[in-house]
Amino acid sequence: MKLEKFSVTGSRLTGAAVEGSLSVSLYKIDAPQNAGYSNFGELLRKKLPQFGGGVGTINEAFGNGGSGQGTISLRNLPLSRTLFLLNGRRTNADINLIPTTAIDSVEVLNDGASAIYGSEAVAGVVNVKLKRDYEGGEFKARYANTTDTDVGETRFGLVWGARLNGKTSLTVSVEHAERNLLMTPDREVSTPSGDSVSATSNPGLLTPNSTAAQRLAANATIAGDAGHVAGVTNVNVLVPLRWFVDTSGAALTAASQVPAGFNPAVFLTLPSSMSVTARNTARDAQEAALNAGLPASSPVRYGPNKVLLPGLAAGYPFGYYTYAYRPAESTAITFAFDHEISENLSFFSNVLLSRNESSNALAPSPLSGRTVPTTNYWYGQVFPAAAAAGNSFGYGYRPSELGPRITYNKFEDIEITAGFKGTFAEKWNYEVAYMRNELKVVSTQTGGVLSAVYNSALAGTTAATAFNPFSFTPLFSTTSPGNPDALISTFRGSASETDRFVTNQVDANVGGEVFDLPAGPIAVSVGAEYRKETEDDLPDSSLQTGAVFPFNIVSPFSGAREIVSYYTELNVPVVKSFSVGLAGRVEDYSDAGNTGLKPRVSFRWEPLSKELTIRGSWAQGFVAPSLTALDAGSPSQSFNEIFNPVTGIRTQATAGTIEIGNAGLQPGESDSYLIGAVYSPKVVKGLTVGINYYRIDETNIPFTSDQYIVNQWFAAGPTNAANPFGPTAAPSAQNPLGAQVEMNVDGSIRQVRNVGPINSGDRHTDGLDFFGSYYVPTTAVGDFTFDISATKVLNFEQENFPGAGSIDYLGYYWPDGSALGNFGFPIWKGSTSLTWKKNSYLASVSYNYVDGYTEINDDTDPTDDNKVGSYSTVDVRLGYTLPWVDAQLTVGVNNVTDVQPPFIASSFENQYDRAIGDIRGRVYFVELSKKF
């Protein structure tokens, strides 16, 4: 079979025209120092300093907030700024759908390439190349586990290839992998502590609702109650005292169980001019005073709730139910087929069939915002006076009896590419291909509560039909002392959702040498691409109607668009040592419009022949809005934590956030710069060192934030009837989407509506990449290879809305609720490795480093911030070729010193930075590879 010209990620040109002109990091999966990782995503997270940290990274540690997929994002930027390719074409697959056994190499382009590939190639491109034209076979097996033996992993793979008649090549790979789960309390750093609790708990928290007569008697104001007495201004508010059942494993069923004098419907009458914070302080003091008068054995207490476990604040320790590391099972098959039809024409095809299943667990459902009405049978039995007075109760409760909520995620991907390629006129080549990629994602959520059934039971009028809210089920118990299993089982609900993403693409390009200049030939490539993207999201009826609580409401969605692209690339050798590259691309979206010409200009200068190369590029890029981002007609619900500037408390809105799309959304724009040098001195053979400076400026970024909306609402005045961010506000220049923040009477946030993306943000980041390698072959004691790579980020700033002020993220970990919250932005990240090989033996040791940063606990009080230490791990590999079976045996340990990721108090769920750290700790592995 003819030897093909090679191509490099980031260019459509082939051969010498592109060699050395681009900054591309190459990772060979079979290299000794790269063995032993769970998947190539973990490999890149340790070895590639541009990856890890910042937003956009999802891995196996993402239970809540993840779906079982694995993603790569470069330069600390969101995921949509890194283009992910499979065999040079964009794909719907993710890390966990691509079998490691089938991978030949991973190429990472370190600068922008929208002129070459289109949308998303802003921070760089990651291209996974699968094996093809393979001869023979290889069987691989891997087992790994922690030294605590609690996260076992197995992987078996087979790759086989053959050539027939010198014209046909077939390569096939098969892989199956499984991984166990790790619970959050199984590691010290993630064990819930302090305030890692939820206010919605078991026992439930009850707060009385005042009656109209009570408000009138106190001359108190409440929503809809103003002006009880003509001519009298309401000057007071009623603040309810909270209470809960304080007898573990028991339930109240009769009034005789309640201490004399305990009143479940107690209110403080306070001036309306008093701040909410002052009211809460007065409430806390009154609750403590009343508790002091109760007997020590009292089964009821006033206050926010009880402490359920030592070392924790009052509330529900949700982390004891969650996964810190997701269990998974995956199977994948790949095919690569090539057939030479004639000397100048070949047929090629690639097939990927892959499935990945994983799950995640969360604590029992938080049933907040519920009401215990006066009709509840048990209410009348235990507190007959309060029931007769007409006081209902606000009620927050977690049904421990139902157990955790478990979500099962299944990804199924089918990708088929087929085409023809060939040569003509000696120096010209062409390729035309069709690709279809279909990704199906099925998510099933269990452990929910049927809202209507539960509400009906809360209003039940008989002992058989009424839910007893005065019951306390101990943690991890599945039996309620006050409610029969038969009643509890009627609440149990589940929900499912199916997403389908389909891409059909036809592309064609032709390239070659136009004519020769004194310094060499001008190389050119031109091409066109047609792509149709469809997305269908079908939630079941329970998700559409909100019938199962607390699962977010999801609207069905179906969308499609067509994209037509034209691109060209040119390389001009000005003189022997200096060449200039030009590229441009135009894309026309059927929904988002024409992007205009996106250019890239690059140069390559070799002032010292074969020793020093200086290269640079400037490129404009864009990120097209997603189909769902453009859809304003399918609102969805989420329960993000929001800092309430009125109460000073960060919590979820009681009715959640309602998110919508924006049909007028435009692509985000970018300018990317890179200049660098690579030096390979002839006097030190085998040595290569280099440095890159990069800069990325983004404008017109689509930005969505319920927290920003709440901040703007507060700045415009909570009592301002004309507040442009208020609950009935019309769309305006300040707030294009209208009607947003609605409050409860106690100052908490009820709901934030119409939260959608707006082209309003700017972002700037720049930094330095350092890299080097030194290969010392054939010494008396063996061959040595030394590799090092590091990135120092110089700036990372973002302004969300014009006039909002630029936020400096670099060197900080911002809490959940911030625009780029729940992720750290380290200044330094790097890795170095030393590998030795002699005859049948090899050894490799790697050191991986992530710089520390500052945790922002309260962005209004810098003195409340915490210093987060650096994170360093050491990985070791030992290899030996078994002579009697001619098989390669590799054993090793990742994180030899069992370092735990640094503690971060505000981290979402697991108290460390999941994008950077590995919660498993020390992991040993054994790999066996046999070629035949």
The residue to which tokens 């009837």 are assigned: 721
pLDDT digits (tens, 9 = 90+) for 515-573: 899 999 999 999 999 999 999 999 999 999 989 988 888 889 999 999 999 999 999 99
DSSP string, 528-588: EEEEEEEEEEEE-HHHHHT-EETSPP---EEEEEEEEEEEEEEEEEEETTEEEEEEEEEEE
pLDDT digits (tens, 9 = 90+) for 354-379: 999 999 999 999 998 889 999 999 99
pTM of the predicted structure, to 2 decimals: 0.90
Instruction: Please provide residue 485's backbone torsions phi and psi, each rounded to the nearest 5 degrees.
Output: -55, -35
pLDDT digits (tens, 9 = 90+) for 391-432: 999 999 999 999 999 999 999 999 999 999 999 988 899 999
Strand 205-208 vs strand 367-372: parallel, antiparallel, or unpaired? unpaired
Q: What six digits make up the tokens of 823?
A: 């992720």
Please give the single-letter amino acid code of residue 733.
A
Angstrom distance (rounded) from CA 743 to CA 753: 11
Angstrom distance (rounded) from CA 759 to CA 625: 10
| Count of Cβ atoms closer than 10 Å to residue 95 Cβ | 24
665-691 exposure pattern, b = at least 16 Cβ within 10 A, e = fewer: bbbbbbbbbbbbbbbbeeeeeebebbe
pLDDT digits (tens, 9 = 90+) for 633-673: 778 888 877 888 887 777 788 888 988 888 888 999 999 99
pLDDT score recorded for residue 464: 94
Residue 340's DSSP bridge partners are 346
CB 324 within 8 A of CB 187: yes
Instruction: Please provide residue 624's backbone torsions phi and psi, each rounded to the nearest 5 degrees.
Output: -70, 140
Residues 6+ positions from 400 with CB-CB distance below 8 Å = 202, 364, 473, 474, 475, 476, 477, 478
pLDDT score recorded for residue 712: 85
Query: Which one, of 363, 369, 537, 377, lies nearest residue 451 by Cα?
Result: 369
CB 489 within 8 A of CB 479: no
Angstrom distance (rounded) from CA 8 to CA 11: 6
Angstrom distance (rounded) from CA 65 to CA 440: 19
DSSP string, 98-112: S-GGGEEEEEEE-S-
Instruction: Please provide residue 40's backbone torsions phi and psi, each rounded to the nearest 5 degrees.
Output: -70, -20
What is the mean predicted confidence (pLDDT) over 224-240? 58
Residue 862 pLDDT class (50, 70, 90 cuts) = low
Peptide bond into 550 cis (omega under 30): yes
Instruction: With H, G, I as helix, E, B as strand and everything else as coil, classify residue 925.
Output: strand
Instruction: With H, G, I as helix, E, B as strand and everything else as coil, classify residue 19.
Output: coil
pLDDT digits (tens, 9 = 90+) for 63-86: 888 899 999 999 999 999 999 999
Helix %, strand %, coil % of the chain (to 5): 10, 50, 40
Element of type H or E holding 380:
helix 377-382
Peptide bond into 203 cis (omega under 30): yes
Task: Determine the straight-line distance between the first and last CA of the chain, rounded to whole angstroms.
Answer: 22
Q: What six digits make up the tokens of 675?
A: 């200049």
CA 52 vs. chain centroid, Å, equals 12
Angstrom distance (rounded) from CA 622 to CA 625: 10
Element of type H or E holding 830:
strand 828-838
What strand order describes the sheet that includes 853-855?
823-824, 812-814, 853-855, 866-868
Task: Report the range of poorest mean pLDDT among 520-524, 739-743, 754-758, 816-820.
Answer: 816-820
pLDDT score recorded for residue 196: 87
Burial zone of 310 (CB within 10 Å; 0-12 exposed, 13-18 middle, 19+ buried): exposed
**Helix and strand totals (H; E) in the chain:** 10, 49
CB 282 within 8 A of CB 227: no
Angstrom distance (rounded) from CA 920 to CA 42: 13
Q: What six digits make up the tokens of 256?
A: 């005789």
Query: Which one, of 26, 23, 9, lies nearest residue 116 by Cα?
Result: 9
CB 566 within 8 A of CB 507: no
| Count of Cβ atoms closer than 10 Å to residue 224 Cβ | 7
pLDDT score recorded for residue 860: 55
Residues 6+ positions from 651 with CB-CB distance below 8 Å = 199, 641, 642, 644, 748
Residues 6+ positions from 480 with CB-CB distance below 8 Å = 251, 399, 401, 468, 471, 473, 488
Instruction: Please provide residue 291's backbone torsions phi and psi, each rounded to the nearest 5 degrees.
Output: -60, -35
Task: Report the range of poorest mean pLDDT among 311-320, 474-483, 739-748.
Answer: 739-748
Instruction: With H, G, I as helix, E, B as strand and everything else as coil, classify residue 844.
Output: strand
What is the mean predicted confidence (pLDDT) over 853-875? 82
The residue to which tokens 């007569």 are assigned: 213
